[in-house]
């Protein structure tokens, strides 16, 4: 499996005085497990909520608290902490911290570190919804964005104060992706990519449908990786329970016809299209408005062919656009893949071996056979996340 993007990276985490501070202890633990070098800086208010000892134990490093604790800490800590940082994460960021940062104050170790560093800074606001919605907070957020800080928007939901609204600290999965993005090569920057994923469902009646074993995991991993590498990502997804990858715009569809409509609507404006969805080849000719009673079900099902979306995309491909298809095969992988590459005018085809249970449908791992105009390559057997990155490496080379 691939090494974590966080391994060996110097990540400074600034913790402020919010009830959400305890959640960040879990994040520090996750990053330390992935071998990141985590340094925590706490505001005085943060220490009212959680002790430095917790962060020291979880990060394995001393926690920085006071600017004037000479002797106890490095005298020039306010300069040194941020100087070698690969990225700084402020989480939870209070309204107070954002106000101080927006006007360039340096009145404690955290704000001084932020001013003295040239590392990228991610800010995760967390506060009561009315505090978050206050015009002063909104203005400070705008200023911080203008200054180049990346704001990871808080989520909506029930707050610790028992109020509903926007202001809840972003989830770790989202923050993790933004952190990973800040540490990754942005070789898809400026590219708009369209990824399709999952199966389609072709209904017979309101209760029954025809579908296939696609879980969407490969397509979702591709969308996630493209966001990390700087792309603007549109994901058209068939039914799956997978959560939308952070930073990705997702449109859910059910049938092949719906998928075709959404894909063709976006295709023109995308420089890369990766069709990882397993679109049903056929749909029932008749869609019953009401559930068909058991005793009335016909023994033979009459099917109608669905449109071949990939074929249509290949026909209307613009110059410079990269079109990547997937094929699910259980035998003659190379021959079948090459046939599809040519017939559908693709730049690259990734052939999934669906013969076993460790590759292809539903599995967490995969091993793709890649066929392009210039040759054939078998990727290593690895996680779908790593496979996605290897596939993007090949696509970037084609751009
Ligand atoms: C129980 C409690 C919870 C608080 N939670 C938040 C919060 O989630 N977000 C926030 O902006 N302020 C919150 N505050 C207020 C801040 O702690 C206060 O504005 C403080 O000055 C922030 O200091 P700092 O920005 O230096 O950490 C809370 C205060 C208390 C007493």
CA distance 275 to 325: 5
Hey, which of 67, 94, 99, 170 would you mutate to test ligand 1's pocket, going by the most ligand atoms within 8 Å of its Cβ?
A: 94
Which pLDDT tens digit goes with each residue over 242-256? 999 999 999 999 999
Which pLDDT tens digit goes with each residue over 188-222? 999 999 999 999 999 999 989 999 888 899 999 99
Residues of the chain with pLDDT under 50: none
Domains of the chain are 10-182 (3.40.50.1950), 192-398 (3.40.50.10300)
Atom 6 (ligand 1) nearest CA: 18
pLDDT of residue 257: 97
Hey, which of 13, 14, 18 would you mutate to test ligand 1's pocket, going by the most ligand atoms within 8 Å of its Cβ?
A: 18
pLDDT of residue 120: 96
CB–CB of 46/16 below 8 Å?
yes
Which pLDDT tens digit goes with each residue over 122-134? 999 999 999 999 9
Which pLDDT tens digit goes with each residue over 229-238? 999 999 999 9
295 sits in which H/E element: none
With tokens 């925590």, the residue in question is 40
Tell me what the pLDDT averaged over the chain comes to. 92
Hey, which of 15, 17, 48, 112 would you mutate to test ligand 1's pocket, going by the most ligand atoms within 8 Å of its Cβ?
A: 17
For the Cβ of 21 lying below 6 angstroms from any atom of ligand 1, the answer is: no
Atom 22 (ligand 1) nearest CA: 17
CA distance 129 to 232: 29
CB–CB of 167/126 below 8 Å?
yes
For the Cβ of 97 lying below 6 angstroms from any atom of ligand 1, the answer is: yes
Atom 13 (ligand 1) nearest CA: 18
pLDDT of residue 75: 66
pTM of the model: 0.90
Within its chain, how far is the Cα of 110 from the centroid?
28
pLDDT of residue 1: 63
Strands 192-197 and 282-284: unpaired
- Per the annotation, the verdict on 161 as an active-site residue is yes
Annotated active-site residue in 16, 161, 244, 270: 161
């Amino acid at each position: 499996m691939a090494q974590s993007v966080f391994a060996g990276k110097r990540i400074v985490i600034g913790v402020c005085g919010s009830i959400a501070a305890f959640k960040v202890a879990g994040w520090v633990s996750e990053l330390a497990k992935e071998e990141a070098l985590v340094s925590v800086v706490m505001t005085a208010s943060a220490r009212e909520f959680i002790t430095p000892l917790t962060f020291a134990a979880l990060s394995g490093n001393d926690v920085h608290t006071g600017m004037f604790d000479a002797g106890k800490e490095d005298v020039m800590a306010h300069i040194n902490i941020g100087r070698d940082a690969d990225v700084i994460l402020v989480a939870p960021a209070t309204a107070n911290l954002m106000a101080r940062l927006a006007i360039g104050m340096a009145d404690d170790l955290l704000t001084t570190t932020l001013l003295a560093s040239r590392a990228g800074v991610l800010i995760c606001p967390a506060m009561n919804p009315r505090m978050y919605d206050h015009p002063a907070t909104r203005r400070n957020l705008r200023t911080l964005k203008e200054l180049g800080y990346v704001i990871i928007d808080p989520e909506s939901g029930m707050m610790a104060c028992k109020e509903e609204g926007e202001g809840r600290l972003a989830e770790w999965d989202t923050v993790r992706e933004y952190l990973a993005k800040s540490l990754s090569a942005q070789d898809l920057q400026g590219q708009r990519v369209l990824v399709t994923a999952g199966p389609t469902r072709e209904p017979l009646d309101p209760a029954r449908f025809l579908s296939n074993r696609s879980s969407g995991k490969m397509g979702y991993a591709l969308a996630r990786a493209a966001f990390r590498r700087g792309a603007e990502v549109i994901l058209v997804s068939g039914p799956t329970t997978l959560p939308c990858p952070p930073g990705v715009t997702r449109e859910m569809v059910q049938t092949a016809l719906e998928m075709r409509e959404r894909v063709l609507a976006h295709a023109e404006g995308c420089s890369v299209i990766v069709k990882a969805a397993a679109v049903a080849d056929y749909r029932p000719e008749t869609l019953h408005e009401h559930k068909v009673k058991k005793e009335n079900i016909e023994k033979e099902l009459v099917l109608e062919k669905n449109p071949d979306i990939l074929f249509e995309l290949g026909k209307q491909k613009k110059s410079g656009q990269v079109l990547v298809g997937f094929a699910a095969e259980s035998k003659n992988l190379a021959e079948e893949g090459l046939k599809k590459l040519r017939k559908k005018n693709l730049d690259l085809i990734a052939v999934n071996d669906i013969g076993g249970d460790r590759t292809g449908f539903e599995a967490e791992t995969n091993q793709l056979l890649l066929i392009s105009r210039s040759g054939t390559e078998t990727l290593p057997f690895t996680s779908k996340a790593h496979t996605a990155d290897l596939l993007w490496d090949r696509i970037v080379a084609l751009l």
